[in-house]
């Protein structure tokens, strides 16, 4: 016997979904550059920590900004770089809310980056 109910609409994305996709994307890998990357690596470390905490907390969409500010406070001073990263995460979330296609784009990026990593055998720092 088959279920005759129409397929339900997929649930709208949650901030956790965005955090997991951003963690899976190549965005947190250092780029090949001829200059000192210490500042880049520090920023990527902060962003990774914030995204991991956001994924673990799994806030409701309307609680995202408050949760991001709480994470900034937990990480502590200097708060400038951490707040800047929180703003970029919030902006990514707003893009997902306005344009669901953006989430699909991030998913495609994460899948592509993952398969490229498998082919190259590159290790995460």
Instruction: Report which of 91, 43, 27 is spatially closest to residue 64, judged by C-alpha positions.
Output: 91
Domain boundaries, the chain: 15-25+38-118
**Per-residue pLDDT at 107:** 81
Q: Give percent above pLDDT 70 in the chain.
A: 72
Q: Which residue reads 């969409």 in tokens?
A: 61
* 30-80 per-position pLDDT tens digit: 556 656 667 777 888 999 999 999 999 999 999 999 999 999 999 999 899
50 contacts 68 by C-beta, under 8 angstroms: yes
pTM: 0.75
Q: Report d(CA 18, CA 23) in Å as an integer.
A: 9
Q: What is the mean pLDDT of the chain?
A: 81
Residue 112 pLDDT grade (very low, low, confident, very high; cuts 50, 70, 90) = confident
């Amino acid at each position: 016997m088959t279920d005759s109910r129409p397929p339900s609409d997929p649930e709208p994305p949650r901030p956790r979904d965005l955090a997991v996709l951003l963690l899976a994307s190549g965005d947190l890998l250092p780029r090949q550059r001829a200059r000192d990357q210490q500042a880049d690596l520090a920023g990527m470390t902060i962003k990774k920590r914030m995204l991991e905490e956001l994924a673990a907390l799994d806030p409701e969409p309307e609680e995202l900004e408050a949760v991001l500010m709480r994470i900034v406070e937990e990480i502590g001073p200097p708060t400038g770089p951490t707040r800047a990263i929180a703003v970029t995460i919030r902006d990514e979330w707003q893009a997902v809310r306005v344009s669901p296609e953006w989430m699909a784009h991030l998913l495609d990026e994460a899948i592509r980056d993952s398969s490229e990593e498998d082919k190259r055998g590159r290790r995460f720092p």
